[in-house]
């Protein structure tokens, strides 16, 4: 059974204070690892896909990295508008019938001005 564990559950940062969110996963053959951002009362918004260990993706102040067991979402010099819940999800290679994703519970990031 695929499993995704995210830590910490909540993270409070001062504006400009860089940090990282962790996503540990167990999957029988990784097809892809995904990061999403979710604002209160809205659906998750897709950020990145990582396919293999060593891969990195960047978008503005966010950088996602991947190893064989975990992924990190690094936030550099965050701003208050980066406050959101960040979700991690995995798809197993054996799910040939569809891109079923298993999600973690998320990390809620609050950035104070």
CB of 42 to other proteins, least distance (A): 6
CB of 58 to other proteins, least distance (A): 16
Nearer to other proteins, 32 or 78 (CB): 32
**Helix, strand and coil percent figures for the chain, each rounded to 5:** 5, 60, 40
Nearer to other proteins, 15 or 45 (CB): 45
Nearer to other proteins, 22 or 95 (CB): 95
Element (H, E) at 57: strand 56-59
User: What is the contact surface with other proteins in residues (CB under 8 A)?
Assistant: 31-32, 34, 36, 41-49, 51, 87, 89, 91, 95-106
Gap between the Cα atoms of 8 and 2, Å rounded: 20
Instruction: Classify strands 10-14 and 107-112 as parallel, antiparallel or unpaired.
Output: parallel
């Amino acid at each position: 059974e695929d499993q995704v564990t995210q830590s910490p559950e909540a993270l409070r940062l001062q504006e400009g204070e860089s940090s990282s969110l962790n996503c540990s996963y167990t999957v029988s053959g990784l097809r892809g690892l995904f990061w999403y951002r979710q604002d209160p009362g809205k659906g998750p918004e897709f950020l990145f896909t990582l396919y293999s260990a060593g891969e990195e993706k960047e978008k503005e102040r966010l950088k996602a990295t991947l190893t064989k067991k975990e992924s990190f979402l690094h936030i550099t010099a965050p701003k208050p508008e980066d406050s959101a819940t960040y979700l991690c999800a995995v798809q197993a290679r054996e799910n040939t019938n569809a891109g079923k994703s298993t999600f973690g519970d998320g990390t809620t990031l609050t950035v104070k001005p």
